[in-house]
Amino acid sequence: MTFDNILDTIIKNYKNGLLFSSIVLLSVLLFLGNQQITTGFIVPQGIDFTGGTQAMVEITGTINIDALKQNLETATDSRIIIKQLKDTNTITIESKIPITKELLKTAISESGAEYKSSSIHTLGASLGAAFFTEALKAILIAYIFMSIIVFFLFRSFVPSFAIIFASFADITTAIVGMNLLGLNLSMATIAGLLILIGYSIDTDILLSTRVLKRRSEGTVDERIKSSMKTGLTMSITSIIAMIVLYLISTSIILDEIALVIIMGLTADIFYTWFQNVGILKLYAEKKKL
């Protein structure tokens, strides 16, 4: 089956695609609802928002991360998050309570490596809460301005709502992915989500513009197919670029941003080309476009 045949099949079976994307989104919302009920939050917050201590530690030798985590959690009676930078001898350690250099030296030694140097940063809980409030404001403002621009462009409720709803679906699906990969809500993941808001509406605007405003460029199905070719190329190119960034980066911040965008853009392929194609096809049939 050729690529064109695959696109034709998706367009022809748009109602099934709409049903499939709706089931996926419902599953996502149920997962997040269960998270909220069982844990009290839809995604765990990192120390950027809860306050705590982050230590950047350089070591020599090979370390047993699981043993280090157990040693530190036993010593502090607190949950510890440890990440090792790719292709380096540097690890980051996060804790909600203070960690001293002496404790790090002892725990690292007992875990099979040798402590070399460290930098320790502590953030107060009140300041972390203030950061969290500002981060939520940033996301809300981004959505408000994005919604205004979309409604201004199309001046019609159904296509505008479809674009905004698809962006919401991308964000919620990316948050589920964060839960599954153990990513906390942090400044880095918030940045990834903000970038995703911009990325995610590109293909939706492309689709809506060609279907609703370029009626001289063939039938509705032909216009959808043309936008699918362009939009999928855009999305796949961006995903590949983020995968490369993740693979070559030695920065945890860049890794987390890249992962959030990869998950969101992957979800966007389904929500744009299954969900929004279905919505716009039904809308076009009703309006006889």
pLDDT tens profile 181-225: 988 888 889 999 988 988 888 889 988 888 888 777 778 888 889
Claim to verify: residue 184 and residue 281 sit in the same structural domain: yes
Claim to verify: residue 95 and residue 138 sit in the same structural domain: no
Claim to verify: residue 104 and residue 68 sit in the same structural domain: yes
97: which DSSP letter?
A: S
pLDDT in tens, 234-258: 999 999 999 999 998 878 889 999 9
185: which DSSP letter?
A: B
Contacts of 277 (CB under 8 A, 6+ apart): 10, 11, 14, 17, 18, 207, 224, 228
The CA-CA-CA angle for residues 67, 69, 70, to 5°, reads: 65
Kindly tell me if the per-residue pLDDT of 87 is higher than 70: no
Residue 74 burial class via C-beta count within 10 angstroms: exposed 0-12, middle 13-18, buried 19 and up: exposed
Query: Which residue range forms the structural domain that includes residue 176?
Result: 3-46+127-287
| pTM, 2 dp | 0.88
Domain endpoint, select from 88, 123, 158: 123
Q: Could you tell me the sign of the dihedral formed by the alpha carbons of 267, 268, 273, 277, in that order?
A: positive
Convert 4-26 to b/e letters by CB count within 10 Å (16 or more is b). Answer: eeebeebbeebeebbeebeebbe
CATH number for 31? 1.20.1640.10
Tell me the backbone φ, ψ of residue 170, rounded to 5 degrees: -60, -45
Taking every pair of Cα atoms in the chain, the longest distance, rounded to a whole number of angstroms, is 73
pLDDT in tens, 152-169: 888 888 889 999 999 999
Residue found by looking up tokens 């462009």 in the block? 153
